[in-house]
Amino acid sequence: MHAAAVAAIDIALWDLRSKALGVPVYDLLGGQTRDYARCYCHVQPPDGPGGDGQAGIDAMAGYAREQVAAGWRFVRFAAGEGSHAERDGVYEQPRALRWTVEAFSALRDALGPEVETCVDFHQRTTPAYAIQLARELAPMRPFFIEDPARAENPAAFARLRQHIAVPIATGEQIASKWEWRELIERDLIDYCRVDLCICGGLTEARKVAGWCETHYIEQVPHNPLGPVSTAACLHFDLATPLFGVQASQPAASQPGCMLLHRRASRACPLLPLTGPGHRRAGARPGHAGWPTDSRQLCQPRIEADREACHTEQPESPHTRAKSRRSVRRSARFRSRR
């Protein structure tokens, strides 16, 4: 909680300083290293798995084709999310392993070799099952596997490193540079999933990124939050030399947008993308700044609709999944009584 509170203040101070100096935040962070930040989207259908087993896999592959047709070149899905046991609220590793391999194979067949695919293990697997699953996925070349173990346990990552060759990403729950030390210095990961709103803001994240750069670890910032976090991530990405891809969630009305929910555009109206699957930034001061027409060039900063912020709550894929599981558990409890 302390690091998250520091992050909120830190991001606001970077924004204020950049406006006072009349330069975009990425200039203060060292300068622009790229023209845009490429993004990945989640390809599990937003309304649920769409059925058990093969039906769920087919639904996900169909949804993924739609996203790729809209311009996405990186996609991501969660291991075991569509297995029957997972939908009942119980995660069974053998069933989840089989479902994940079949789902990845279907995505590779549907999307072809040029679309990069990421798999999030969500820290649900034991090291033994993580090794099995990673080895099964390796011939299909995942861009990375995420959270095959809890990031707080570097010893587990050391064990994984000895047995698997696919790239590993982790770190979304780490709250300071000190907690990153062992993962970075022992070269236990390939992608750093720093969360700017958990890990002390842009100041601390920049320190972590510089440390990672000396170990060839690329940045893949975690961002299941709202438009302010998205804007901060964009400027971090543009100023970071060793950047991989940016986490995002497409809004139904804006293919390629990093907003988590289309209602968020009312609470804090961000500017749209100049192209699907990536974010661009303009040269305006502050965290805002990816103009696509002359009217947007006149907007000096992110503006929030306070009334909408109180009445409209953006929803992440994690909270939607938890809400569905909570409803199912409550129904089973009532039936037992």
Strand, coil or helix: 112: coil
By C-alpha distance, which of 80, 89, 57 is closest to 323? 89
pTM (whole model) above 0.85:
no
Look at residues 96, 41, 37, 101 and name the one whose alpha carbon lies nearest to residue 65: 41
d(CA 227, CA 230): 5
User: Catalytic annotation on 122?
Assistant: yes
| Residue 257: per-residue pLDDT | 40
Domain containing 243 equals: 2-336
Selecting among 42, 84, 122, 235, the annotated active-site residue is 122
Q: Are 169 and 193 in contact (CB under 8 A)?
A: yes
* Owner of token pair 């809890």: 150
| CATH code of the domain in which 198 resides | 3.20.20.120
Could you say which DSSP state residue 196 is in? Answer: T
Alpha helices in 214-302 (DSSP H): 227-239, 264-267, 294-297
Query: 101 Cβ partners below 8 Å, 6+ apart?
Result: 133, 136, 137
Domains held by the chain: number = 1
Q: Considering the candidates 222, 235, 261, 287, report the single residue annotated as catalytic.
A: 222
Instruction: Of 273, 244, 260, give the one whose Cα is nearest residue 74.
Output: 244
* Digitized pLDDT (tens) for each residue of the chain, 337 residues in all: 799 999 999 999 999 999 999 999 999 999 999 988 999 999 988 766 666 678 889 999 999 999 999 999 999 999 988 776 556 677 889 999 999 999 999 999 999 999 999 999 999 999 999 999 999 999 999 999 999 999 999 999 999 999 999 999 999 999 999 999 999 999 999 999 999 999 999 999 999 999 999 999 999 999 988 888 989 999 999 999 999 999 985 543 344 444 333 333 344 444 334 455 666 655 555 555 433 332 332 233 555 666 666 665 555 545 455 555 554 544 544 445 5
Is 310 a catalytic site residue?
Answer: no
Question: Contact at 8 Å (CB) between 136 and 125?
Answer: no
